[in-house]
Amino acid sequence: MLLLGLAVAVVIQIIGALLVLSLLVTPAAALRVSASPVVVPLLSIVFAVTASVGGILLALGSAFPISPYFTTISFLIYLACRLSARACRSRAVSAAA
């Protein structure tokens, strides 16, 4: 936990608060999809790389900076994970009934 706090304190100076919060939201999205201690870090990495590379590629073709694209992609990933977790939960409840 201390390492996470130090990393956030250093990185927030470099890339800004909004991007740091976007990077911290994606592991929570991975937890909604799986509870496996092996799968969650892998999904977190995939989500972070997808948001980063997607933001960079979208920003290359427009006049806007990377941050709006990055945060939007992170939010869409979180939303997709939340909706898929809800669908799986409702499916499990209806199968048990």
Model confidence pLDDT, tens digit, residues 23-59: 777 777 778 788 788 888 888 889 888 988 998 899 9
Q: Would you say residue 14 lies in a domain?
A: no
Residue with tokens 């909706």: 83
Report the predicted TM-score, pTM, of the whole model to 2 decimal places.
0.73
Q: How many domains in the chain? A: 1
Q: Would you say residue 80 lies in a domain?
A: yes
Alpha-carbon distance of 84 to 66, in angstroms, equals 27
CB neighbours (10 Å) of residue 81? 20
Phi, psi of 37 (to 5 degrees): -70, -10
CA distances from 32 to 20, 29, 46 (A): 20, 5, 15
Q: Would you say residue 5 lies in a domain?
A: no
pLDDT at 97: 61
Q: Would you say residue 22 lies in a domain?
A: no
pLDDT, one tens digit per residue, over 71-92 is 899 889 989 988 888 887 777 6
Q: Would you say residue 86 lies in a domain?
A: yes
CB neighbours (10 Å) of residue 12? 14
Q: Would you say residue 11 lies in a domain?
A: no
Q: Which structural domain, as residue segments, surrounds residue 59?
A: 39-92
Tokens of 12: 């927030």
Q: Would you say residue 87 lies in a domain?
A: yes
Q: Would you say residue 65 lies in a domain?
A: yes
